Each structure stands twice: as C-alpha cells, then as structure tokens.
Amino acid sequence: MEVIKVADYEALSKKVCEIFINRLQTIENPVFGLATGSTPKGLYKCLVETYESGQISFANAKFFNLDEYIGLDKSHPSSYTYYLMKKLYEHIHLTPDQIYLPNGNATDLQEECARYEQCIRDCGHIDLQILGVGINGHIGFNEPGTPFNSRTDVVNLTESTMRVNSRFFKSIDDIPHRAITMGIGTIMESKEIIMLVSGKHKADTLQRMIHGNVTEDFPASILQKHPNVTVIADEEAFHD
C-alpha cells in the first residue's frame, strides 16, 4: 500500500486527477470504477475541466458505478446515478454503452446484482477503482461485518451511514435503508485501487485502514492485502 500525503483537498484532487489521466492515456480500453460522496467531487471537476480544455478523450473508456440506493429513481438528485451523470458523464460525451449502473429499481434485485457482476467480468475487470471510505471503515456500501469475499449484493445500510448520508437528503426519513453495492471481493479484483481520504473526521479511519488489524469489522482494512493500492490523503486526515 503506497500512502501519499498531500497538503489539502485541492492537492488531493489534483494528484488523483493526474493518475487517472495517466491510466486513461496508457491503458488501451480502460475500465474505471467510480465512487460518489463528497471526497471524489474534486476529481470529477478536474476531469471535466481537463476534457473541456481539449487535452483528453474518454472515447475508449468504460465506467462502473460502485453502488446505488435501492428504490430511488435515477432522476432523483440524491441517487448515485444522478450524481455521476451530473458531475461527470454528461460533460464528457459518453455513449450509453460506456456507462454501467446498478439498477436499484430492478424488479429482481438478485438478478440485477448477478448481471452487474457479469458486466464487470465481461469488461475484463476494473483497471482503476476510485474509493472513498466511511468513518466506520465501509467501502462502497459494505458495512462492518461484511465477508471479505462478498460479491455485488443487496445490503442494509447501518444507522451511522444513514445518519452521515442524510446530508444529501431533505430529511433522514427520505434516505433508503438498502443499496446495491459491488462486493468487497469484487472491489479487490480491481487491478488498481486509489483510496481518497480527506479531513480531520477521517483521521482515526485512515490510521486504522493503514495500520490496524485486517478484520471484517473494518472493511477498508482489507486494502492492506491488495497488491496495487494507493491511498491519497490530505494533512488533516493524519493524526499530528
């Protein structure tokens, strides 16, 4: 696990954007896995700006969303589909066959999870997966206690995750209690992972992710076992 410490959130976004663009330009048909939430916003902004300046093309790339709430329409402003459409996909001229989304409104959710796994396999697995981490160590929506070999599945959100994510909803009562998420086993099959960590409130999480025991009680700890992980964290995310 390589850990890169940067000064602040702006530097974090710039650093991950540089690496992302390098993979876009050096891998023949790159497959990216993308997280949502607050932390990767700067990355998506940087990618859009670089695209608009004419320096890069996404024509050969494919994108997989990491997770999605169950029961939200994709036009719902708090859905993860909407987030990535608005923050990235709509700005970089993709065709629909370049974008893969778990459908949280599928009638048969188990079949949907199997379909999503198959799509990832058919694309030859993810070349670069971007991750953020929950305070409780979750990656995707894989909450503490999730088996390390889990595959894409329907999961229940914990109270703490619902509370933290309620900031994206009008009220905590509006937040779905379930989601589809790539499994930990699925994420670990990515050829490369970049984990982004920003802010004081993640300092304990970062410490435990890098130096703590590898345990299913803290899902992000499994990244210590992946052969190609880079953690990019800003100064605030480190204990003094």
Q: Which stretch binds ligand F6R (CB under 6 A): 50-58, 94-102, 129-137, 222-230?
A: 129-137
Contact between 66 and ligand F6R (CB under 6 A)? Answer: yes
Please state the closest distance from residue 34 (CB atom) to ligand F6R, in A. 8
Amino acid at 66: L
R_g of the chain computed on alpha carbons: 17
| 28 annotated active-site | no
Contact between 130 and ligand F6R (CB under 6 A)? Answer: no
| 177 annotated active-site | no
Please state the closest distance from residue 240 (CB atom) to ligand F6R, in A. 21
Nearer to ligand F6R, 24 or 197 (CB): 197
Of the candidates 198, 137, 238, 140, the residue with the CA atom closest to the CA atom of residue 12 = 198
Indicate which single residue of 22, 25, 29, 38 sits in contact with ligand F6R (rule: CB under 6 A).
Answer: 38
Residue 115 makes CB contacts below 8 A (sequence gap 6+) with: none
Say if strands 153-156 and 178-181 run parallel, antiparallel, or are unpaired: antiparallel
Residue 102 φ then ψ, to 5°? -75, 135
E strand spans, 46-132 = 62-65, 67-69, 99-100, 128-131
Residue 30 makes CB contacts below 8 A (sequence gap 6+) with: 23, 24, 60, 61, 62, 127, 128
The footprint of ligand F6R on residues 83-112 (CB under 6 A) is none
Catalytic: which of 103, 136, 226, 235? 136
Catalytic: which of 65, 138, 165, 192? 138
Contact between 219 and ligand F6R (CB under 6 A)? Answer: no
Contact between 39 and ligand F6R (CB under 6 A)? Answer: yes
Give the residue numbers marked as catalytic: 67, 136, 138, 143
